Amino acid sequence: MITTELSNIGDIIHNQRDFFQTGKTKDVTFRIEQLKNLKQAIIEHEQSIVEALQADLHKPEVETYITEISVVKDIDYAIKHLQNWTKPKKAAVSWDFFSYSAKIYPEPLGVVLIIGPWNYPFQLIISPLIGAIAAGNCAIIKPSEIASHTSNVIAKIIAKYFDPAYIAVVEGGVEVSQKLLAEKFEHIFFTGGRAVGKIIMTAAAKYLTPVTLELGGKSPCIIDTEINLEHTVRRILWGKFINAGQTCIAPDYLLVNQKIKKDLIDGLQNSLKEFYGDNPANSPDYARIISEKHFDRLVNFLKDGEVIIGGETQSSERYIAPTVIDNVSLEDSVMQEEIFGPILPIIEYTDIAEAIALINSRPKPLALYLFSQNKNLQKRVLQETSSGGVCINDTVMQVGVSSLPFGGVGDSGMGNYHGKASFDTFSHYKSVLQNSFWLDLKWRYAPYQGKLPLIKKLLG
């Protein structure tokens, strides 16, 4: 890994401020060219990206393409819509402003900071970068040092295709992050955990810097009786065990109707064997835990409840089998924090009110999943719960829809991105009001004597 000299960080930011002041990034043609450059860079270095993610997470190539490299479709989406996004939009004015016209102009913020996580270390850097470029900003990128191979690939790609005065990658550990956070930015975009999110907000407060925090939480998955069991099982297992469960919107725990619990468990057992064979440790399609620290944290969770599927571990390989646990208590450690690994607790309910009450007793999750064909039940869950997003009869796929804003609420984050929402996140919408000279009524000017009745009539 290339570590950036701490003394150089201030110079990088200064150079980006100078570049931004040239006005070059405000040119829509320039932005489109840079988005095309980014797409080309990803396409040309696809194999390097695959190899880096294999080294960091043992990530299968198919998963890498689906969850990391497919971010190029978001580039295409931005290119297609950018001309429209950047146009000033007319705003309506009331009759008492009949001589005025109003417009709203999107304008870039300036120099922004993007701090990425280790679980999807490529996609979760590039996706917000697309929005920053589309909105006309300069950007400094800080990839996760934990996924060091991917961080290094990102640094090489960006350095090859972009002027560091426009987009720069800063690599390194905690000390680099601390140095960056001591600087002033026009926006900070962070993806990661809640504890570090608080550190980001504290640092941003010094300069009143706006932040976007994409955090996480314990995303519940409700399973009703009115389902296609085979489809339900496959979709849950895929969403839970891609990337060995290290996904911020993975189903964190199942809330299963008691009547269908046994059938569901049988289905989970059968489909897991279909996915990964008799021994998932030998499967080429199953990832590994990112580090020894995270491996040890997850192994601790296996002490809770009763392991009914999986549970095998290999510390030398940082391998934890796809695991399902039953008979967990809400007080168990596995139910107290986001799991972020291949462990799936099951909690049964007899009435949907119980499941809703449990969800509402906890911090608001980043995602909520519901498997049910019952329209009334769907409506009730949507109305009676709050979460960053909801996906009905599937898992994780909501993140791939460019037209849907993605983000958390409450403890699971603030702000959102993807598609137009990314452009909005990295833009300031400037209100512009313009009057004409063809008429100038004197009702608002001094002297005021005798004008109050008219003013009350006009403005009342």
User: Which residue shows structure tokens 């009730």?
Assistant: 380
Strands 389-392 and 367-371: parallel
* Helical H segments across 172-302, by residue range: 174-181, 194-205, 229-241, 261-276, 292-301
Q: Rounded CA gap, 231 and 237, in Å? A: 10
> What single-letter amino acid sits at 137?
N
Q: Rounded CA gap, 231 and 369, in Å? A: 14
Q: Rounded CA gap, 326 and 96, in Å? A: 66
Sheet holding 306-309, edge to edge: 306-309, 323-326, 343-349, 253-257, 220-223, 367-371, 389-392
* DSSP-derived 3-state class of residue 326: strand
For residue 201, give Cα distances in angstroms to 162, 210, 361: 29, 9, 25
Q: Which residues are bridge partners to 90 per DSSP? A: 103
**Nearest one of 177, 259, 265 to 225, comparing CA atoms:** 259
* DSSP-derived 3-state class of residue 373: coil
Under 8 Å between Cβ of 378 and 370: yes
For residue 50, give Cα distances in angstroms to 63, 87, 179, 380: 10, 38, 30, 42
Under 8 Å between Cβ of 423 and 416: no
Active site residues: 214, 248
**444 C-beta neighbours (distance < 10 Å), count:** 11
Strands 253-257 and 220-223: parallel
Peptide bond into 60 cis (omega under 30): no
φ/ψ of 427, rounded to 5, equals -125, 155
Q: Rounded CA gap, 196 and 398, in Å? A: 25
User: Which residue shows structure tokens 């120099």?
Assistant: 111
Under 8 Å between Cβ of 280 and 288: no
Under 8 Å between Cβ of 272 and 238: no
